[in-house]
Structure 1
Amino acid sequence: MTALIHPTQAQLTEADQKALTDLYIRGTPANTLRAYERDLIYITAWRNAVFRSAPEWPEREEVALRFILDHARDLSTADISESARTAAEALIAAGLRQSLACPAPTTLDRRIASWRAFHRMKNLSSPFDAPLLRQARAKARRAAARPIVSKSAKPIVRDLLHKMLATCEPGLRGMRDRAILLLGWASGGRRRSEIARLRREDIDLEEFEPRGLVWIRLSETKTTARGMTPKLVIKGSAARALVAWIDAAEIQDGALFRPISKAGRPLARDLSAEGIYQIVKYRLEKAGLSRDMASPHGLRSGFLTQAALDGVPIQAAMRLSLHASLAQASAYYADVDLDRNAATDLLE
């Protein structure tokens, strides 16, 4: 990935190129860098399979158009000798593509967005900005449109959360899981990656004793850049659960949430995002519910859904959820049954 980022090679010294590359890396969220890397691998493999050569900079418009056309249809019905199908099968064999089915429009959009970003990094115009390519993208998006599928089968609203919390047994494991569930929900519905990245240094307990408040500083989120995320606050049972975990596990610094050993001791390493996923599934199962009922994203959707049910103004909920788009946050409010919407009781 770092070899790709050399914007104006003819105008910059080697030292400037190195400094600018470092700036791009430091100024780009880690998740975005990983997505760029995956997309670059995919684009390179696809181009080699179809054109027997690596990407060019700037890329030719006919190559970009071919990329859109090859990813805007179901190739399982294509002739086995067709180059688009042959290339797709090579990508499947390499573990870069799942099937011959038409990829989701969002997947195509993301890969094109990455390809355009690679051009910007090199201070080059993108072929995808050409009128024909822009129209082809729009048509491909419409042709392959799919119903929106929720990231969690069911939002973890307050009643469901309490059922999961009731399964958190005494001991460090139960205290940790309780703190994770409550912090993840009450702080605005945090993504599992955000929970996993939390450090003890991100938790401010100065106002816990006098006011019962715990302040949280996220390093970055999906919608905010590193260092630009506003501080969040939790109170009540969520704050007490987090402080209880910190005290019992004697977390002085480093990872806030950690795996528990078989001997019942917290380990020194971070609890991964996958670990958060498994905790949510485990607590659902312990509550006598299906593991498939919800995912960690259910904490996020559950927070906003509960806010809607309780009549909390969406702007207030968004100050904690940190949604960048009012339209996206509004979707959770729209999911609330109309007869349970607090606005229907205004006359009464």
Structure 2
Amino acid sequence: MITSLSLPHLALADQEALADLFRRGTPGNTARAWERDLAYITAWKLAAFGQPLSWPEDEGVALRFILDHADDLTETHSPARDTAAALVAQGLRRSLACPAPATLDRRVASWRAFHRMKNLASPFDAPLVAQARSRARRAAARPPAPKSDHPITRPVLEDMLDSCDDSRRGRRDRAALMLGWASGGRRRSEIVALNHDDLDLREWAAKGLIRIRLLTTKTTGADVAPRLPLKGRAARAVLDWLSTACIEEGPVFRPVSQADRVLDRRLTPEGLARIVRHPLHIAGYPPGFASAHGLRAGFLTQAALDGAPLQAAMRLSLHRSAAQAQRYYADVELADNPAANLLG
């Protein structure tokens, strides 16, 4: 997506070098989000104004973008509805309903980032536009929807593990689920990004401990890559998978063919999502019971149920915001809170 920064005051070679620096220094998930947002923004302006994007963009266009995404357009008849309908037809927008404030915030943030890449002032920084954006966020405020319908707490995880057989696929699934849960509730992207050399086995013989290096997460980069502990059953499951699959280098988690043959390529985030869905189905849970994010939600929910201090859980989950992590603790039924049993 970052192919050229279009900075006329720089030599072409410098522009190319700067674009390459942006590509190498931008996390993959961020780059993919930028690509989707650029496609949406470009299509929106073409549908709304019949014109391509301008750099810098006009403040009136930025204001119209916010206004078009501040209302439910289902029952209205307006140019904004016509524009939204065109985007729905192109598969770029799900419906005519008002988008979530977080979706608008992300697209605005991407548009601002594109201006920064070109060393241009963003129209979204204009006082009137910024005020309109703030009011739109408040007007469309809604309770945050959970990323997983249910947390995968310890009992649910045990049911999932019981459904994993001793085939290569079953051993892989067992290792991925246990590592993802026990190392702090890892995200899909973090689990599938692991390579063999990210697993430090030097303390295994003496302490039964594997240290996992996470080169890139949503809150950390390679310069401060955390090293998280993995112990007990989870560590043994990972070692069993590595031995069974004869993995000594490269990706830790890989696809397994229908013939139960381990492939060389890296498992995708969607492949990890299937690893979560399939054991839930085999264990008898209803469709859609939990997503891969349920591993993360389940770890924190179980930590709350077990009385683990929030800060201790956050050291493993790597949440930057205590308020965000606290939501999982707040979701625990008050009667199940260990503090309710202090007198016995």
Provide the TM-score with structure 1 as the length reference: 0.95
Determine helix, strand or coil for the equivalent of 2:254. Answer: coil
Aligned length: 344
1:26 corresponds, among 9, 24, 27, to: 24
Contact map agreement 2:151 2:298 (CA 8 A) in 1: yes
Determine helix, strand or coil for the equivalent of 1:263. Answer: coil
CA–CA separation in structure 2 for the residues paired with 1:99 and 1:45: 15
Gaps of 5+ in 2: none
1:169 corresponds, among 162, 165, 170, to: 165
Q: CA deviation at 1:4?
A: 5.1
The Cα RMSD (Å) is 1.4
Aligned to 1:127: 123
CA–CA separation in structure 2 for the residues paired with 1:22 and 1:183: 34
Provide the TM-score with structure 2 as the length reference: 0.96
For 2:2, the aligned partner's letter is T
**Do residues 104 (structure 1) and 83 (structure 2) align?**
no
The within-5 A match list for 1:1-348 is 1-3=1-3, 5-6=5-6, 9-79=7-77, 82-348=78-344
CA–CA separation in structure 2 for the residues paired with 1:49 and 1:253: 49
Determine helix, strand or coil for the equivalent of 2:211. Answer: strand
Determine helix, strand or coil for the equivalent of 1:328. Answer: helix
Q: CA deviation at 1:156?
A: 0.8
CA–CA separation in structure 1 for the residues paired with 2:305 and 2:70: 40
Determine helix, strand or coil for the equivalent of 2:315. Answer: helix
Contact map agreement 1:200 1:254 (CA 8 A) in 2: yes
Determine helix, strand or coil for the equivalent of 2:280. Answer: helix
Gaps of 5+ in 1: none
Q: Which runs of 4+ in 1 moved over 6 A?
A: none
Determine helix, strand or coil for the equivalent of 1:76. Answer: coil
Q: CA deviation at 1:11?
A: 3.4
Determine helix, strand or coil for the equivalent of 2:230. Answer: strand
CA–CA separation in structure 1 for the residues paired with 2:132 and 2:4: 27
Contact map agreement 2:4 2:16 (CA 8 A) in 1: no
Determine helix, strand or coil for the equivalent of 1:49. Answer: helix
Q: CA deviation at 1:219?
A: 2.1
CA–CA separation in structure 1 for the residues paired with 2:79 and 2:117: 30
Contact map agreement 1:188 1:300 (CA 8 A) in 2: yes
Determine helix, strand or coil for the equivalent of 2:135. Answer: helix
